[in-house]
A and B are shown apart, each in its own frame.
Chain A
Amino acid sequence: MSTDLLTIALSDTRVLQAIELVWHEAALLDAKDYQTWDALWTDEGRYVIPIDPDTDDFDGSLNMVNDDTRMRRMRIERLTSGYSMSALAAARTVRTVSRFTVEDRTEDSITLKSAQILVGFKRDDQQTLAADVTHRIRDTEAGPRLDLKVIRLVNSQAAVNASGYLL
């Protein structure tokens, strides 16, 4: 099933553009270039790391992150201001995003699901975080933009170590 879907999807320019955006986003986040990352979002963009692996009711449940544009910008300010010692000491990260499938397609949006493996290194410690990720990418006058990003960590209901970086 997924092979056919992927084959069809990869022949679609809009899907390729969406994947390109997701990979560009991953590079920006590994580089901790959060200001440039912010410009990838629509004004209504929602950035979520839920705890409940099955919920879509993000506002009705507790999340690790549930950011609208205002919160996302405050988060970027926190991570770049120099006042947060966890951000100053944040792990170096390398993430791979792959195993794309197209979940939905409308006239002006593509919803992709993918797998993300992030390896972080801080001091003497190397850590791995794995997640299923959903990106809804909307076509705008300025080009494709992130409209929704949901990161479902495989260990979201267990201990997730504190981070000074973004997923």
Chain B
Amino acid sequence: MTTSLDPTLSETNFADLATDDRVDGSLYTDPDMFEAELERIFYRTWVWVAHESEIPEAGSFKMATIGRQPVIVNRDRKGNFNVLLNRCRHRGASVCEVPKGKANGFTCPYHSWSYALDGRLRGIPYPDGYDEDLDKKDLPLQSLRVESYAGMIFASFNPDIEPLDEFLGDAKVWIDLFMKQGAGYPIKTQGEHCFRFRGNWKIQLENTTDGYHFPIVHRSWMSSVDAETADMLSFMTDDNAVTHALGNGHSVAIMVPEHVDLDHDDGTEKIQARFDHIVEELSKTMPADQVRRIVRSMHGAGFNLNIFPNVAMSMSFFRVLRPIAVDETEIRHIALGMDGGPEIVNRERLRIHEHFQGPFGFGSPDDSEAWDRVQRGSRGAPGMPIMVNRGLNREALDSDGHRTSHVTDETGMREAYAMWKRMMTDEH
């Protein structure tokens, strides 16, 4: 991998810019640093590209982007996942501009070089224009490393990267818990909201496990939901609502402790009255305990899991970030449902998603406004540090050895910046 690093940005600089509890404001504003982050983080580590349900059958594909580079994620006839650079080996044209669909392969529209789902070059028109020693085997679409865990598909430009299993490490337990919101059904994606904000990608990265902002930024949303939902999210004063640093930049923020493991139900929780019509409908064909299990999963998992650097598994949706520029980031909020589950439940989950998410939701616009303001404000006195020290006074190791603090504390951010520092200074 070639690098476009500014030679003046030495590794020592990066190390100096992030201490254990402060980061320099230039982390949001320095365009050279942004270029370095693409090379050292996004083109070097595992980046989430798709959920299996987005490419359900042989030939299913979707377009995705890693850093600035366009890729195609597909499932081939053997059931393998492939992530291919969306760039013809001949003259560089993209071979796919359909966001998602089904295909037998990909043909470049410029000179009709055609490729199989696994990237093999199948055909070149009028091949006699090339030397006889041109071997199609040498000219496939560039393939990336691909591995998946629990339906989450990750890819990497780095052929020497550690196995995904190791990279996810202690986050895997939480991914498994997150998937329990399917209540026995597999998770499926069911649409997404996409918006951009005028700020650096790390501003959003910080946000997912930042419980401190929630009741302030989302006060208007809190006042619009029923008392039971608001009460469910009253984590500000709940000592059981904690954040764990999980290693490798990953972290989890527990907002609803009683919903961490949705298979566990002590029977004390009252089902929210807003779901009475669903209980009534499901009860016609399902036993009461199954109905209760499904309805308790309606809001998703009781926590936000941040997987460094680009995907969060947040209550009932995936939040995917894409760095566009040093001061611009794209966010997708992907709604989740139960694959094969009751239609009435999947529809209700869509309504819950619409209520908070998206450019006209009751929550996302306020998050976006806050992130815009961080970017605008941090241009003032760029050397002045950004504080990520909240909760250091009460941070402790849990029984698994994870640094843990209250959900309103900045343990998750400190974990992300520790990983950022390792990757940017090549210590990993």
Contacts and interface: CB of A to CB of B under 8 A. Distances in A.
Interface of A: 49, 51, 59-66, 71, 74-75, 77-78, 81, 83-87, 89, 123, 125, 157-164, 166-167
A83 B370 CA distance: 13
A64 B369 contact: no
Interface string B193-212: 11111100000000000000
B368 A81 contact: no
Contact of A64 (B217, B330, B360): B360
Contacts of B224: 74, 77-78
- Interface-centre pick from A51, A78, A81 (highest chain B CB count, 10 A): A78
A22 to B, nearest CB: 20
A75 B99 contact: no
Given A64-B193, A64-B360, A74-B224, A162 B368 contact: yes
Contacts of A60: 347
B366 A84 contact: yes
B99 A83 contact: no
Identify whether the interface residues of A are mostly helix, strand, loop, or mixed.
loop
B102 to A, nearest CB: 18
Given A78-B221, A161-B197, A162-B365, 12 more contacts: A51-B193, A59-B350, A61-B350, A62-B335, A74-B362, A84-B220, A85-B369, A157-B194, A159-B195, A159-B196, A161-B368, A166-B360
Given A61-B350, A62-B193, A62-B350, A83 B220 contact: yes
A89 to B, nearest CB: 6
A160 B219 contact: no
A64 B191 CA distance: 11
B351 interface: yes
Contacts of A167: 360
Contact of B330 (A51, A84, A123, A159): A159
B343 to A, nearest CB: 8
Contact of A49 (B192, B351, B355, B360): B360
B223 A62 contact: no
A71 B197 CA distance: 26
Contacts of A125: 198
